[in-house]
């Protein structure tokens, strides 16, 4: 059944998306502002379950590509968000029927809402990951043979382009260079899918899940309960560590925010990230790794903290949760497992066990 995303739902959705974003996906506050602006100007967004997508639909993903740290100062506008979708519809020679999220994470769960509202298109209740990942090809549609290209991109200056590549890894490589040259942050649209392809390749119900997580945190606070425990329960995960941030090393290189964070508590936890948290280690012991979800929440309020928001002195709790099971196939781990990112360790599930395909 279709449902609507209105102004009142945005804050809960943005909060929940920031949790699923595993530290990346961009600043949820910026995305929420953009979505609220679009809804105020154009009205609520109709959201369509995957099961109700027409077979012949033309679904396009919309996202921000680049370093999340840059977006804090380089705010996008609605024209920049709409530009790639319009360009790609013209390039493909047929009308776009639906917009979808490439990932469930931070700004990239709210930018598609802004695009859908401004373009007058319905939004798919699903996304390409069930979390956030740093590189463009790291979506489940890649595993199903869906091409990222033609990929359209735009910046705040009005530059718009369409890229045609031989595979999704090349789309990432070339578009990342364009993103760096265009200020380390651009809007993109691609992964054109039919309704049948979207039903097979996307994670179902992720926008509703974002709202449920965000509302759960807010409700727990209102009722003087533990919002972190509520989040762990909603995700079916576990709490890894609690303590104070004592060091953050972070830099923007090659269009990514890369770095490490150290948290002191009962021992010391080290987080390693590339836009998103990839590895959680406690006193040299690996607790969890990509592709499962590693998330940092403010100790008392349960508010998610992005990798660019980590600061010395923050009291935080780190939790882990299972990813979509498709991410633990051998093919998927080759694309998003720790070894892809240069860490010579097998993939550790949220509960500390080794992923079978990674052993």
C-alpha span between 170 and 36 (Å, rounded): 34
Give how far the C-alpha of residue 350 lies from the chain's centroid of Cα atoms, to the nearest Å: 18
Digit-by-digit pLDDT tens for the chain (359 residues) are 999 999 999 999 999 999 999 998 777 788 899 999 999 999 999 999 999 999 999 999 999 887 665 665 666 788 899 999 999 999 999 999 999 999 998 889 999 999 999 999 999 999 999 999 989 999 999 999 999 999 999 998 999 999 999 999 999 999 999 998 988 889 999 999 999 999 999 999 999 999 999 999 999 999 999 999 999 999 999 999 999 999 999 876 666 778 999 999 999 999 999 989 999 999 989 999 999 999 999 999 999 999 888 999 999 999 999 999 999 999 999 999 999 999 999 999 999 999 988 76
Question: Tokens 């020679």 sit at which residue?
Answer: 93
Structural contact between residues 58 and 95, judged by C-beta atoms closer than 8 angstroms: yes
pLDDT at 90: 96
- Give helix 227-235 / helix 206-222 axis angle, nearest 10°: 150
What Å distances lie between residue 75 and 29, 68, 70, CA to CA?
Answer: 11, 11, 9
pLDDT at 74: 62
Structural contact between residues 131 and 56, judged by C-beta atoms closer than 8 angstroms: no
Q: Residue 216: CB partners within 8 Å, gap ≥ 6?
A: 16, 227, 230, 231, 234
Structural contact between residues 71 and 64, judged by C-beta atoms closer than 8 angstroms: yes
Give how far the C-alpha of residue 320 lies from the chain's centroid of Cα atoms, to the nearest Å: 16
The radius of gyration computed from the CA coordinates of the chain, to the nearest angstrom, equals: 19
pLDDT at 304: 96
pLDDT at 67: 65
pLDDT at 70: 60
What Å distances lie between residue 235 and 131, 173, 222, 232, 273, CA to CA?
Answer: 12, 33, 20, 5, 21
Query: What's the DSSP call for residue 351?
Result: T
Structural contact between residues 112 and 99, judged by C-beta atoms closer than 8 angstroms: yes
Structural contact between residues 293 and 20, judged by C-beta atoms closer than 8 angstroms: yes
Structure tokens at 139: 């979506």
Query: What's the DSSP call for residue 57?
Result: -
Task: For residue 163, list its beta bridge partners.
Answer: 151
What Å distances lie between residue 87 and 159, 169, 195, CA to CA?
Answer: 11, 22, 21
pLDDT at 256: 73
- Give helix 10-20 / helix 206-222 axis angle, nearest 10°: 100
């Amino acid at each position: 059944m279709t449902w609507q995303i209105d102004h009142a739902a945005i804050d809960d959705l943005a909060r929940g998306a920031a949790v699923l974003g595993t530290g990346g996906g961009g600043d949820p506050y910026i995305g929420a502002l953009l979505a609220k602006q679009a809804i105020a100007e154009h009205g609520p967004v109709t959201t369509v379950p995957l099961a109700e997508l027409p077979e012949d639909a033309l679904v396009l993903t919309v996202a921000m590509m680049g370093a999340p740290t840059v977006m804090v100062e380089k705010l996008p506008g609605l024209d920049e968000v709409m530009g790639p979708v319009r360009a790609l519809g013209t390039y493909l020679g047929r009308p776009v029927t639906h917009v979808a999220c490439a990932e469930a994470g931070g700004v990239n769960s709210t930018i598609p809402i802004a695009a859908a509202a401004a373009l007058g298109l319905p939004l798919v209740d699903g996304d390409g990951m069930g979390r956030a990942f740093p590189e463009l090809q790291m979506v489940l549609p890649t595993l199903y043979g869906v091409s990222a290209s033609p990929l359209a991109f735009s910046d705040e200056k009005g530059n718009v382009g369409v890229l045609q590549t031989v595979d999704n890894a090349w789309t990432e490589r070339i578009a990342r260079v364009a993103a760096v040259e265009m200020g380390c942050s651009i809007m993109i649209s691609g992964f054109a899918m039919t309704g049948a392809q979207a039903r097979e390749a996307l994670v179902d119900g992720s926008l509703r899940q974002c709202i449920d997580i965000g509302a759960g945190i807010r409700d727990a606070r209102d009722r003087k309960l533990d919002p972190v425990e509520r989040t762990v329960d909603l995700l079916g995960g576990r709490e890894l560590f609690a303590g104070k941030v004592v060091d953050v090393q972070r830099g923007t290189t090659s269009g990514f925010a890369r770095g490490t964070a150290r948290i002191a508590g009962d021992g010391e936890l080290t987080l390693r990230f590339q836009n998103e948290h990839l590895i959680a280690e406690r006193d040299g012991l690996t607790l969890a790794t990509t592709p499962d979800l590693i998330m940092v929440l403010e100790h008392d309020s349960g508010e998610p903290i992005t990798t660019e928001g980590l600061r010395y002195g923050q009291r935080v709790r780190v939790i882990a949760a299972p990813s979509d099971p498709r991410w633990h196939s051998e093919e998927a781990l080759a694309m998003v497992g720790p070894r892809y990112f240069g860490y010579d360790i097998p993939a550790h599930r949220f509960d500390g066990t080794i992923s079978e395909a990674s052993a």
